[in-house]
Amino acid sequence: MKREKILFVASEASPFIATGGLAEVIGSLSKALAAKSKRYDVRVVIPLYMEIKQEYREQFKFIGNTTVPVAWRNQYCGVFEYVKDGVTFYFVDNEYYFKRKGCYGHFDDGERFAFFCRSVLEIMPLIDFYPDILHCHDWQAALAAIYLKTIYCRTEEYRNIKTVFTIHNIEYQGKYSIDNLQWLFGIDGYYQGMVEYNGCINLMKGAIECCDRFTTVSPTYAEEIKNPYFSHGLDAMVCRNEAKLCGILNGIDYEYYNPATDKALFANYDATNLAPKAVCKEQLQRMLNLQVRPDTPIVAMITRLVDHKGLDLVTAAIDEALEEDMQLVILGTGEGYYEHYFTELAARHPQRVAAIIAFNPELSRQIYSGADIFLMPSKSEPCGLSQMIASRYGTVAIVRETGGLKDSIKPYGAGGNGFTFANYNAHDMHYVLKEALALYRQTDKWNELVKKAMDTDFTWKKSAEGYEMLYRELTN
Ligand code: GLC
């Protein structure tokens, strides 16, 4: 059987470098596809950032180097390789662009990712890998699809490469002044109409227009982005290309997120043996200087502290909510306003509220395992992974019905695995929180719900099949 060749292009991938859910999906989806059958040869290419740890770098194999045209210059491009869980990762090296602190937020991000995307196409002869499917993720990888269609596809080896573009968040589109079209991005004026939107270069729009298929990370979000409330200006483009669009719900890595084996936890457990979860709770309360009270429910939030995560609902309702017997644990970083708000809230409610302003994967799993309720009231959420991880660790999710939250958490009242509310409204959120707190006091019913949450299937199995079907359609 001929193995199909898939090349993922992304700006981050776990475990090498991660700032959010994108990295986890790149790491775990590629692994799931590679594990599923011998049908796929899955490879991933990301930039070699300074922050990729030495322990990994030591194991990288140098493949070679080439030069890559960026604007009017030719830039050095080195390629390193590392094979993990059946997936081959490539790292594009250029110290001028990537030996910096942080993956994003530099004045020349447009140029940095133009270099990266152009490199993806230039290194194909070097790594001797011309994929059947070039699967680009988010705006930082959009130019790889655009360069393929505008420059490379006239060359024999590139001619049959099909492109898939996945939107993990439509909010970040890669917008630049139209003046940069030729001299910086190296796109011929003939293609201006493809990448131009509202008078600017819009790389996400360009990829939507030129790809063979595009996807988002949940079916509900695929519908939502046809609507101006969610689309950040791109609804017309999404609708125009609707025939190429589908939504496939993300999964999570069940080996990595496994309460039965996770070494970060204070005790291990599974759905058939929940008692050790109480140990996780007690230790969490001790560690965070909360009152050690087994019967007080812990409500947790692990989130970037940014607006669309629904934090304004929390700030509006939390004082009233804290009149009931509950504790609140918040872990995350982000906007100064929220960092200060939650730090101050913790100071006002010593031993009942803990706010940890940090990004800490180990601590996050200690919280997922020690908490009882996980709150995720996002205004919009393409998929969201935290509600799935929380469920896997037996912590019942309360979500707003949007995007992937709606596709993964179903209301308890209708026999579901958590609690949900529809309108973006603090009182509605507070109401379901009260419902959850009330059910928590009915221990038998609560434990049943915990088991139900833990038994929900959030593996990649079904979702990977969705991608397989898509790839098959394109290659047949
Ligand atoms: C982005 C989205 C998030 C999604 C993740 C992985 O971070 O905001 O909802 O889960 O990408 O696809």
**Would you say 85 and 35 are in contact if contact means Cβ atoms under 8 Å apart?**
yes
Atom of ligand 1 nearest to the CA of 250: 12
Q: Does residue 1 have a pLDDT over 80?
A: no
The verdict on residue 54 lying in a domain is yes
Q: Does residue 37 have a pLDDT over 90?
A: no
> How would you write 438-454 as a 3-class SS string?
HHHCCHHHHHHHHHHHH
Residue nearest to atom 7 of ligand 1 (CA): 21
The average pLDDT across 116-144 equals: 98
The verdict on residue 59 lying in a domain is yes
201 pairs with which residues across the strands? 176, 196
d(CA 114, CA 176): 12
CA distances from 201 to 49, 69, 148, 204, 239 (A): 26, 19, 17, 9, 19
78 pairs with which residues across the strands? 65, 93
- Tell how far CA 359 is from the center of its chain: 15
- Go through the chain and tell me how many residues it has: 476
Q: What is the pLDDT of residue 116?
A: 98
Choice from 249, 385, 388 to test ligand 1 binding pocket (greatest atom count within 8 A of CB): 385
Q: Does residue 218 have a pLDDT over 80?
A: yes
Same domain, 242 and 344: no
Same domain, 31 and 132: yes
Q: What is the pLDDT of residue 404?
A: 98
Give the number of C-alpha atoms closer than 13 A to the C-alpha of residue 350, restricted to the C-beta side. 1
Choice from 12, 104, 166, 168 to test ligand 1 binding pocket (greatest atom count within 8 A of CB): 168
CA–centroid distance, residue 55 to ligand 1 (Å):
27
Residue 132 corresponds to which tokens in the numbers above? 């059947």
Same domain, 238 and 293: no
Same domain, 279 and 175: no
CA–centroid distance, residue 386 to ligand 1 (Å):
10
Q: Does residue 53 have a pLDDT over 90?
A: yes
Handedness of CA 235, 239, 241, 245 (dihedral sign): positive
Which amino acid would we find at residue 116?
A: F
The verdict on residue 261 lying in a domain is no
Percent of the chain with pLDDT over 90: 97
The average pLDDT across 26-34 equals: 97
CA–centroid distance, residue 91 to ligand 1 (Å):
22
d(CA 26, CA 42): 11
The average pLDDT across 3-29 equals: 96
Percent of the chain with pLDDT over 70: 100
The verdict on residue 376 lying in a domain is yes
> What is the domain count for the chain?
2
Q: How much is the mean pLDDT over the chain? A: 97
Tell me, yes or no, if the pTM score tops 0.75: yes
Model confidence at 455, pLDDT cuts 50, 70, 90, reads very high
Q: What is the pLDDT of residue 38?
A: 82
Same domain, 196 and 340: no
CA–centroid distance, residue 404 to ligand 1 (Å):
9
Q: Does residue 36 have a pLDDT over 90?
A: no
Same domain, 435 and 466: no
Same domain, 216 and 279: no
Same domain, 450 and 314: yes
Choice from 104, 216, 217 to test ligand 1 binding pocket (greatest atom count within 8 A of CB): 217
Q: What is the pLDDT of residue 71?
A: 82
Boundaries of domain holding 148? 4-251+461-475
Q: Within 10 Å of residue 125's Cβ, how many Cβ atoms?
A: 12
Task: Find, among 438, 330, 335, the residue nearest to 386 by Cα.
Answer: 330
Q: Within 10 Å of residue 351's Cβ, how many Cβ atoms?
A: 14
Model confidence at 2, pLDDT cuts 50, 70, 90, reads confident
CA–centroid distance, residue 109 to ligand 1 (Å):
20
Q: What is the pLDDT of residue 394?
A: 98
Atom of ligand 1 nearest to the CA of 404: 9
The verdict on residue 13 lying in a domain is yes
Phi-psi sector, 157: left (phi>0), alpha (psi -120 to 50), beta: alpha
Handedness of CA 30, 35, 40, 42 (dihedral sign): positive
CA–centroid distance, residue 189 to ligand 1 (Å):
33
Please list every protein residue whose CB sits less than 6 Å from any atom of ligand 1.
Answer: 20-22, 25, 168-169, 217, 250, 381-385, 404
The verdict on residue 172 lying in a domain is yes
Residue nearest to atom 1 of ligand 1 (CA): 168
Q: What is the pLDDT of residue 227?
A: 98
Task: Find, among 213, 181, 211, 214, the residue nearest to 196 by Cα.
Answer: 181
The verdict on residue 91 lying in a domain is yes
Same domain, 356 and 290: yes
The verdict on residue 48 lying in a domain is yes
Cis peptide before 15 (omega within 30 of 0): yes
Same domain, 78 and 160: yes
Same domain, 21 and 134: yes
CATH number at residue 125: 3.40.50.2000
Model confidence at 246, pLDDT cuts 50, 70, 90, reads very high
Query: Tens of pLDDT along 343-398?
Result: 999 999 999 999 999 999 999 999 999 999 999 999 999 999 999 999 999 999 99
Residue nearest to atom 10 of ligand 1 (CA): 384
Q: What is the pLDDT of residue 342?
A: 98
Same domain, 119 and 238: yes
Q: What is the pLDDT of residue 72?
A: 84
The average pLDDT across 207-211 equals: 98
CA–centroid distance, residue 175 to ligand 1 (Å):
20
Q: Does residue 220 have a pLDDT over 90?
A: yes
The average pLDDT across 246-268 equals: 98
